[in-house]
Amino acid sequence: MWEEAVADLLVLHEIEEPIRQLRQQTEVLVRATRAVAGAVRGLQAIGDVDLAWADIKRLEHEGDRIYRRAVAELYSGDYRAMDVLKWKDILHEMETAIDRCEDIANIIESIALKQA
C-alpha cells in the first residue's frame, strides 16, 4: 500500500530520476522486507525471530536517519521550493513503508513471546 503511494507520487510528480536519498531508502526497505520475510519463516524456530527483529529495528533506525538527513538537505536552499515539496512527500511515504516493517516485526515478536 505505501510502496504504491510512492509509485503513484513518482508518476504524479513526473519524477524522471530519483534523488540519492530515495535510492538509499529503497535499499533499506528491500532489506527490511527481506528481514520481515525471514522473521515470519523464523516463527517456526523461535530463536530466529530475535535476530530478524533486531535487524528490522536497526534498518528502521537507518531509514529514519536517511529521512532526516534528506529533509535537512532539501531545506538547504539547493532545491527549488516545488521540488522540496515533491521530494518531501515521496520520502515521507517511503519512510512510512519502512516504519510498517517495524510494526510487523513488533507483531511477530509478540507472537513469538506468546509461543515461548
C-alpha cell at 60: 528502521
| Single pTM value for the model | 0.88
How many angstroms separate the CA atoms of 85 and 68, rounded? 15
Q: Mean pLDDT score of the chain, rounded to an integer?
A: 90
pLDDT at 44: 74
- What confidence score (pLDDT) does residue 90 get? 96
Cβ atoms 25, 95 nearer than 8 A:
yes
CATH class of 2-115: mainly alpha
Inform me whether the pLDDT recorded for 1 exceeds 60.
no
Q: What is the pLDDT of residue 48?
A: 65
Q: State which amino acid sits at residue 81.
A: A
- Confidence band (pLDDT; 50, 70, 90) for 11? very high
The residue extents of the domains of the chain are 2-115
What digits encode the pLDDT tens for the residues 97-108?
A: 999 999 999 998
Burial class (CB in 10 A: 0-12, 13-18, 19+), 53: buried
